[in-house]
Structure formats: structure tokens, C-alpha cells
Structure 1
Amino acid sequence: MLNKLSNTIYYLSNQDDKDRPTLGLVCGDQYSLVIDSGNSTQHAKDFLQEIEKLNVPPVKYVVLTHAHWDHFLGMNEFDATVIVNSQTNEMIKEWRSYSYDDRSLQNYVDNNQMSAMCMKIIQTDMPNRNSFKMKSPDVIFDNTLTIDLGNKICILERIKSTHTNDSTIIYIPDENVVFLGDSAYGTTTNSLFHYKQSLLLPMIKDIQKHDAEMFLLGHESICDRNEMNIYWKELTAASQVVKSTSLENALELFKVDNNRDPNDNEFFFIKAFVNDHIIQSQ
């Protein structure tokens, strides 16, 4: 079931148990635009079935927020123009070369080209995949692209991100809504979860320059401005005290700076920034 954010914006909530991220729908007077195509052909079909229940203009565009499999493997199901930034396009090329039979999938997992969860989702939710091939994106942009759906403007922008190097956000100015994809999250490198500390403040600046009241995220669905401000505040406070690979030193500095121990979120973020220093030192 689609959630209605406004008369022109809908979203399908994330399902963590199935590794399904939030999918978005923005509707203008003439056309509709989809944000992310889902983690499988079945995810995309489920989304399209819900869209068909609405009296909205036809889907003309699909925008991919980044090149992680759970956000683009449903792409072939959409009879629409697929839009990506140039870095996302380069990263998807590898997946276009893949074969999707069981033997090939297991080989990709064994060679760390694909996660075991990804293989499981493909095997469960992508039937007739022995001959499956990812199609190519249709429109590739570098930094920004503006799309008019008919009295409904969508601004696509590639931003700096602590999650990936190819993050695109979608801002709908007349609604004060922004789709962030996974851009505000951390990432995992060498089995360590971390936030890219050097990109935290540039990312926040890129996002906050848009006057958004509501934020759609890949794996939380929706947050209001107050919730996002708390998130930014806790992330920033954690980052400011991490100056080395020492968790103990960071925790002590946090206590000195804030006259209290970190809360659970702040502790998690501090550890992630310490991990970032560990990764940078390797």
C-alpha cells in the first residue's frame, strides 16, 4: 500500500526483512516520476501494481539515487526513461555484465562481488532470470538536472555523501520535500561500518541548502525537519570528538565537551567515526 505524503507525492515504505528500500512517486499534471526502482523485479512489480490503483499521470521517468543493488535491480520493469548521474552509470555497468543463473550468482558471492543477501533476493524475487540482463540508463547527468512533470518541478542533484560517491537526491521545491535515498547513512569497508568523516559537513551543507520540511530516506521511510536536525546534531557532535583511532580518547573528549556521556546514537556514531580513522590508516 502506498503512503500519501501530499496530493502529488507518495511512497512505498521500506521493508527491512526483505532488504527493500523506500520507493517514491512524484506526480505532475502531465507525468509522474519514480524514485528508485526496487531491489528486484518483484519489488518493482509490487510498486507498479500500487501505482495503477491511483489516478495519476503515466510514469515517464525513473531516477536512481545510487548504484546499490537494492535500489536499481527492478529497473527493467519500468517502461520509462531511467535517469542516473555519471558515476552511478559507471557503477551499474558492472551489473549489466553479470549473468543471473544460480552458478554465476554463487561465483559473484564467492568473489565478494555480491552479498549473500543479494543473491537470496534475486533467487526469490527474480524468476526467469537465466536470460536476465540489466538494461542501460537512458539519461546521464553530471551534477544537476531539473525535470518538469507539468506544474511540478523536481531538482536532481548529485551531492557529497558519507554513504557512496554517487549519491543523487531529489528535491521537490513547491512541496518542501527531499528524497535522500541512502545518502545520509554510513557504509561498510573491510567489514567495518563507518561514516566518511571528511564528507560529513559537506554533505549536510549540500542537503540543508534545500528548504525541506520532510525527508524521505531509503531505510527509515520518512523524517521531519526536527528529526533530521537531531540526527545532524548527534552526528556532528560525535564527529567533533573523533581525532584518532582511539575510541577511549573520543569518549573522554565527548564527556569533556558536553558534560555528559554520549547517548546510544552518539556512541554508535563515535564508534563509526573511529572506524573511519582505522580504515584511513590502513
Structure 2
Amino acid sequence: MLNKLSDAIYYLPNEDNRDRPTLGLIYGDQWSLIIDSGNATQHAKEFLQEIEKLNAPPIKYLVITHAHWDHILGMNEFDATIIVNSQTNELIKEWQSYSYDDNSLQKYVNNNQMSTQCMKIIQTEIPSRNTFKLNSPDVIFENTLNIDLGNKVCILERIQSTHTDDSTIIYIPDEKVIFLGDCAYGTTTNSLFHFKQSLLTPMIQDIQKYDAEWFLLGHESICDAEEMNIYWEELTTASRVVKSSSLENSLECFKAEYKRDPNDNEFFFIKAFVNDHIIKSK
């Protein structure tokens, strides 16, 4: 079921138990724009069925926030101009080269090209997989792109991110709403979850230059400005004390710096930044 944020912005909330990220709908006087396509054909179809209940203008654009499978595999269901940044376009090419029959999918899992969960969702939620081929994007931009839906402007920007190298955010100025995709999250490398510490401050600066009151995230759905500020503060507080691959030293530094123990979120972030040092040391 769609959630209404304003007269012009709706979103389909994330479902973590099915690896479904938040999907967005923005519309102006003439056109509608979709943010992310869903993790499979079925996810996209359900989103479109909900949109049909609204009196929204025709869908003209689909913006992909980044090239992870749960955001792109529903792409073929949208009769729209697909917009990506240049790095996302390169990463999508790998998914376009795949075959989606059971034997091929199992091979990709065995080669660590695809997760087991991804394979299972493809098998259950993409019909006619033997002939399935992911569509190509139509518009490729480098850094920024403005789209006017008819008295409703959307600003697209590729930003630095602790999650992926190809993150696009979408800001709607007159609504003070920003869609972040997964850019504010960490990532997993060699089975270690980590935040790319060197990109944390640049990422926050890229996001905070926009005057936003509501933040749509891929796997939390929606946060207000106060919630996001708490998130940024806990991340930066944790990052300041991590200067090596030693969790013990980082925790000691935290207690010396802040005269208290870290809360659960800060402890989680400290471990993630320590993991980033471990990964860089290898």
C-alpha cells in the first residue's frame, strides 16, 4: 500500500523480510517520476497496481539510485525513460549479461556474483526467466540532472557514498524531500560489514547542502530531519575515535573522548569503521 507524504509524493515502504527497498513516486502537472524499480517483476507490478489507484499523470521517468539488484530487477515493467548516472550504467551491464535460468543463477551464486536470497527471489518473482534480459537505461548523466515534471522540479545528483560508488540522490526543492536510496548505509566486503570512513564526511556534506525536512531511505522508508541528524551524529561520533584496526583501542578512545560508553548504535558503527581499517590493511 502506498504511503502519502504530500499531494505530489508517495512511496511504497520497504519490506526487509523480502529484500524489497522503498520505491518512490513524484508527480507534477504533466508527468510522474518513479524512484527505483524494485527487486523483481512482481515487486514492480505491485507498485504499478497501487499507482493506478491514484489520479497521477503518466509515468515518464524512472530513476535508479544505484545498481544493486534489489533496486533494478523490476526495471522492465516500467514504460518510462530510464535514467542512471554513468557508473550505474556500467554496473547494470553485468546484470544485462546474465542468463536467468536455474543453472545459470546457481553458477552465479557459487561464484559469489549473486546472493542466495537474490537467486530465490528471481526464481519466485520473475516469470519467463529463460528469456529474461534486463533493459538498458535511456538517459545517462555524469554528475547532476534537473527534471521538470510540470511545476515540480527534481534534482538528481551523483554523490560520494559509504555504500556504493554509483549513488544517486533525488531532491525535490519545493517539497523539501530527498530520496537517498541506500547511499547512507555501509557495505559488505569479504564478509565484513563496514562504512567507508574516508567518504563519510564528504557524503554527509553532499546531502546536507540540500534543505530537506524528509528523507526517504531504501531500507528504513522515511526519517525526519531530527532522526537523520541523530544518525549523522552517531556515525561521526563513532568515526572520530577509530584510527586503527583495533576495536579495543577504539573503544578506549571513545571512553576517553566522551567520558561514557558508546550506545548500541555507536558501538555498531565503531565496529564497522574498524572493519574498514581491517579491509584496507589487507
Specify if TM > 0.5.
Answer: yes
Amino acid at match of 1:60: K
Q: Which residue of 2 aligns with 1:52?
A: 52
Q: Which residue does 2:277 correspond to in 1?
A: 277
Match of 1:96 in 2: 96
| Counterpart Cα distance in 2 of 1:255 and 1:134 | 50
- Aligned twin of 1:127: 127
Name the residue aligned to 1:243. Answer: 243
What is the TM-score of this pair, normalised by structure 1?
Answer: 1.00
**Which residue in the other structure is 1:187 paired with?**
187
Which residue number in structure 1 is paired with residue 155 of structure 2?
A: 155
Residue 37 (structure 1) shift: 0.2
Matched, 1:145 2:150: no
List per-residue Cα deviations over 1:44-83 (Å, max 9, x = no partner).
Answer: 0000000000001011000000000000000000000000
TM, length-normalised to structure 2: 1.00
2:148 aligned with 1:173, yes or no? no
Counterpart amino acid of 2:180?
L
**Mapping of 1:1-282 within 5 angstroms?**
1-282=1-282
Aligned residues: 282
| Identity percentage of aligned residues | 79
Partner SS state of residue 166, structure 1? coil
CA-CA distance at 1:209 after TM superposition: 0.2
Shift of 1:154: 0.1
- The CA deviation at 1:119 is 0.1
Secondary structure at 2:43 match in 1: helix
Structure 1 runs (4+) deviating above 4 angstroms are none
Secondary structure of the corresponding residue to residue 65 of structure 1: coil
Separation of aligned partners in 2, 1:273 and 1:113: 25
Q: Once the two structures are superposed, what CA deviation does each residue of 1:129-150 show, in whole Å capped at 9, x if it has no partner?
A: 1100011000000000000000
State the one-letter code of the partner of 1:51. I
Write the letter of the residue equivalent to 1:152: K
| Structure 1 unaligned residues grouped into runs of 5+ | none
Equivalent position amino acid for 2:270 in 1: I
- C-alpha separation between the residues in 2 aligned to 1:137 and 1:116? 26
State the Cα RMSD in Å: 0.3
Alpha-carbon offset, residue 172 of structure 1: 0.2
Give me the whole-angstrom Cα distance separating, in 2, the residues matched to 1:104 and 1:256: 53
State the alpha-carbon separation in 1 of the partners of residues 246 and 277 from structure 2. 9
CA distance in 1, matches of 2:203, 2:123: 35
Query: 1:98: how far off?
Result: 0.5
